[in-house]
């Protein structure tokens, strides 16, 4: 199979189109479990309201089961520890998915702060 764990992919369809993600696990014949970055922290200007400053400081991630037809493979790999996540009950249970997203958020945030897999945290230019 073309998609292997720790491979960085770009999502091409849906509300997360243009976002980068890391393959966590191959599920079924055409499905992957990916963990990705929805938004990274950006600096805020002083004149912005406090709610906007709080929003800009957040590090937002996602866990998604996605069809391989809706992603684009890249040549980059990110070995940051996402393959150790417990992914057994993610597809059936929403609370398990939320807990897994919290774990993935802490792993990705640690990688961002330690400058691991720098290409994963850059924005795409079209």
pLDDT digits (tens, 9 = 90+) for 48-87: 999 999 999 999 999 999 999 999 999 999 888 888 887 7
Q: What tokens appear for 101 in the block? A: 């997203």
* CA–CA separation, 101 and 35 (whole Å): 8
| Angle formed at CA 104 by CA 32 and CA 122, multiple of 5 degrees | 85
Report whether pLDDT(91) > 80.
no
pLDDT value of residue 56: 92
pLDDT value of residue 53: 93
- Per-domain residue ranges of the chain: 7-118
Q: What is the mean pLDDT of residues 22-26?
A: 91
Quick count: other Cβ atoms within 10 Å of Cβ 123? 8
Binned at pLDDT 50, 70 and 90, residue 21 comes out as: very high
CA-CA-CA-CA torsion sign (92, 86, 72, 56): positive
DSSP the chain: ----TTEEEEE-SSTTTT-EEEEEEE-SSSEEEEEEEEE------TTS-HHHHHHHH--EEEEEEEEGGGEEEEEEE--SSGGGS--SSTTT-HHHHHHHHHHHHHHHHHHHHTT-SGGGGSPP--
* CA–CA separation, 86 and 73 (whole Å): 24
Which pTM was predicted? Answer: 0.85
The architecture that CATH gives domain 7-118 is Roll (2.30)
Q: What is the mean pLDDT of residues 92-98?
A: 82
Report whether pLDDT(22) > 80.
yes
pLDDT value of residue 46: 93
Q: What is the mean pLDDT of residues 94-122?
A: 87
């Amino acid at each position: 199979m073309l998609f292997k764990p720790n491979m960085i992919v770009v999502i091409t369809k849906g509300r997360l189109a243009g976002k980068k993600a890391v393959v966590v696990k191959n599920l079924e014949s055409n499905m992957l479990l990916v963990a990705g970055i929805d938004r990274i922290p950006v600096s805020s200007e002083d004149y912005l309201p406090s709610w906007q400053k709080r929003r800009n400081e957040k590090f937002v991630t996602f866990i998604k089961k996605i069809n391989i037809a809706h992603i684009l493979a890249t040549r980059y790999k990110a070995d940051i520890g996402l393959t150790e996540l417990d992914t057994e009950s993610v597809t059936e249970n929403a609370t398990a998915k939320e807990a897994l997203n919290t774990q993935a958020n802490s792993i990705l945030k640690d990688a961002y702060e330690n400058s691991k897999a720098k290409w994963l945290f850059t924005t795409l230019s079209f």
